[in-house]
Amino acid sequence: MESKSIVLLERYELGRLLGQGTFGKVYYARSAITNQSVAIKMIDKDKVMKTGRAEQITREISVMRRARHPNIIQLFEVMATKTKIYFVIEIAKGGELFDKVSKGRLKEDVAHKYFKQLINAVDYCHSRGVYHRDIKPENILLDENGDLKISDFGLSALAESKRQDGLLHTPCGTPAYVAPEVIRRKGYDGAKADIWSCGVVLFVLLAGFLPFHDANLIEMYRKISKAELKCPSWFPPEVCRLLRKMLDPNPETRITMVKITENSWFKRGPKAKHKKLEAETASVSSSGTVSDLSDEGEGQAAEAKEESVVPTSINAFDIISLSAGFDLSTFFEESFQKREARFSSRQPASVIFSKLEDAAKKLKLKIKKIAAGLVKLDGLTEGRKGVLSIDAEIFEVTPMFHMVEMKKSNGDTLEYQKVVQEGIRPALQDIIWVWQNDHQQQPQEAEQQPQTDEQPPQPPES
């Protein structure tokens, strides 16, 4: 870098180059306002447009905004100029996990710590309808405390990307870590493919080399498809048993995330160092475990309701990013079909959840708690493109001001839009302050709300 510092958009002072990828470079930077150290990923818009990857970039932003977890690299801010897009992300000063395993195998307790953090983060992603699809040590970073941080969601997929058969079909990933069903190109479950990749990572951590490797790519794929696993002599027997279940070539019989977290080797080990992490992830349900409120008694439903109204906290960047004015599709001059419906409310999260539950019952939809602040509404019958499924997430701006985002995760888009506009929106009208592109305060809400000296923040313009 030149001796004279470069200040990006009057906000970030750029430092040394950290790395370089297909579409741009990553720099170390420091906030000119808060003095916080960050990493800035600079993406060349011209290259993105020429290669037709505009949708991939918008998806990566959507995924990183959705996946907030202590073991996932955090996206702080996104900025853009006519030629560049800038991702301002958390910096991991410990470098890549790959650098550690390239020097040889890790001690069992260290490998156990990293594996546990990896599974907790990936399980959280799955609970949010996010599939990474390129899990490998090169995409796993370490912070200054030695804690794991998953990065690079460029190849990730969302649950709404599934086809009518409920599977993903885009073959992607790194050959040595990719699941056999992805190689076969007949459709695959994103969660099960990620579990396979996590199994390969665990093997590499403990062995220092790959379980299925060959200089000839075709021969390596043959080994992956057969999955003839040979554990080194120093592997604990319980780890070998777990690996055989994770590296099962049949996705139908492969171990699930729930069973992995129940595994005795996974659960054992020192807990004192990780109390903070466990506390932060304790509220996240395993991707395979949900509580169905529609079939419970009134008392049980009330109890579950009380537990499920802890909304996701939201900051100024989130508010801006939730508005249509921040839609990056306009930067690419492409038309992306909007599948999100958003509204703001002056009601507490518990009231919003209660209204969503009432609306679900009227529309004959099942309502399930997925994670803190996130619920899923599922249809009871098959639609044109499978069973309709809608994710509703509550974001807290202040204790008495919330934003709610609804998004189709499965089913037909037209059916989804009809349910939202003709069913859910009218059912929630008495708690809605502003709905998406509406800029006028709802008259019902205005009459009910008493005037106070302290007014909630204005909703973002859409």
Whole-angstrom Cα distance, residue 370 to residue 339? 20
What pLDDT is recorded for position 19?
Answer: 82
The residue ranking higher by pLDDT, 40 or 293, is 40
What pLDDT is recorded for position 263?
Answer: 95
Band of pLDDT at residue 226, cut at 50, 70 and 90: very high
Whole-angstrom Cα distance, residue 32 to residue 310? 34
Assigned fold of 95-281: Transferase(Phosphotransferase); domain 1 (1.10.510)
- The answer for residues whose C-beta is within 8 angstroms of residue 143's C-beta and 6 or more apart is 92, 93, 94, 149
> Tens of pLDDT along 419-444?
998 999 999 989 988 886 554 334 44
Domain(s) labelled CATH 3.30.310.80 in the chain stretch across 291-448
The answer to whether the CB of 23 falls within 8 A of the CB of 152 is no
Q: Does the active-site annotation cover 134?
A: yes
The one-letter code for the residue type at 66 is R
What pLDDT is recorded for position 52?
Answer: 79
Whole-angstrom Cα distance, residue 87 to residue 61? 9
The one-letter code for the residue type at 76 is F
Whole-angstrom Cα distance, residue 303 to residue 293? 10
Average pLDDT of the segment spanning 262-274 = 72
Domain(s) labelled CATH 3.30.200.20 in the chain stretch across 6-89
With 50 as the cut, is the pLDDT of residue 296 above it?
no
Q: Which helix (H) or strand (E) holds 64?
A: helix 54-66
Q: Which two tokens stand for residue 174?
A: 């790194």
Q: What is the DSSP string of 88-111?
A: EE---TTEEHHHHHTT-PPPHHHH
Band of pLDDT at residue 312, cut at 50, 70 and 90: low
pTM: 0.62
Q: Which helix (H) or strand (E) holds 329?
A: helix 329-332
With 60 as the cut, is the pLDDT of residue 302 above it?
no
- Average pLDDT value for the chain: 80
Average pLDDT of the segment spanning 31-37 = 91
**88 beta partners:** 40, 77
> Tens of pLDDT along 337-347?
456 788 888 88
Q: Which two tokens stand for residue 376?
A: 């899923």
CA distances to 40, 244, 344, 354 from 439, rounded to whole Å, are 34, 56, 11, 25
Within 10 angstroms of residue 17's Cβ, the number of other Cβ atoms is: 11
Band of pLDDT at residue 74, cut at 50, 70 and 90: very high
Within 10 angstroms of residue 80's Cβ, the number of other Cβ atoms is: 16
Whole-angstrom Cα distance, residue 101 to residue 236? 19
Mean pLDDT highest for which of 118-122, 329-333, 457-461?
Answer: 118-122
What pLDDT is recorded for position 287?
Answer: 38
> Tens of pLDDT along 130-171?
999 999 999 999 999 999 999 989 889 988 888 888 899 988
Of the chain, the percentage scoring pLDDT greater than 70 comes to 77
Domain(s) labelled CATH 1.10.510.10 in the chain stretch across 95-281
Average pLDDT of the segment spanning 360-387 = 85
What pLDDT is recorded for position 437?
Answer: 57
Assigned fold of 6-89: Phosphorylase Kinase; domain 1 (3.30.200)
Say if residue 41 carries a ligand binding annotation. Answer: yes
Please state the CATH superfamily assignment of the domain spanning residues 291-448 in this structure. Answer: Kinase associated domain 1, KA1 (3.30.310.80)
Average pLDDT of the segment spanning 359-378 = 86
What pLDDT is recorded for position 320?
Answer: 46
With 50 as the cut, is the pLDDT of residue 415 above it?
yes
Q: What is the DSSP string of 410-447?
A: ES-HHHHHHHIIIIIHHHTTTT-SEETT--SPPHHHHH
With 90 as the cut, is the pLDDT of residue 381 above it?
no
Q: Which of 99, 109, 123, 134 is catalytic?
A: 134
Number of H helices, E strands in the chain: 18, 19
With 80 as the cut, is the pLDDT of residue 117 above it?
yes
Q: Which two tokens stand for residue 227?
A: 């999955």
Least confident segment among 7-16, 156-165, 351-360, 438-447: 438-447
The answer to whether the CB of 424 falls within 8 A of the CB of 363 is yes
Q: Are strands 365-371 and 374-383 parallel, antiparallel or unpaired?
A: antiparallel
The residue ranking higher by pLDDT, 2 or 256, is 256
Of the chain, the percentage scoring pLDDT greater than 90 comes to 44
Strands (E), 229-305: 291-292
Least confident segment among 60-64, 207-211, 423-427: 60-64
Q: Which two tokens stand for residue 253?
A: 């019989």
Within 10 angstroms of residue 37's Cβ, the number of other Cβ atoms is: 14
Band of pLDDT at residue 275, cut at 50, 70 and 90: very low
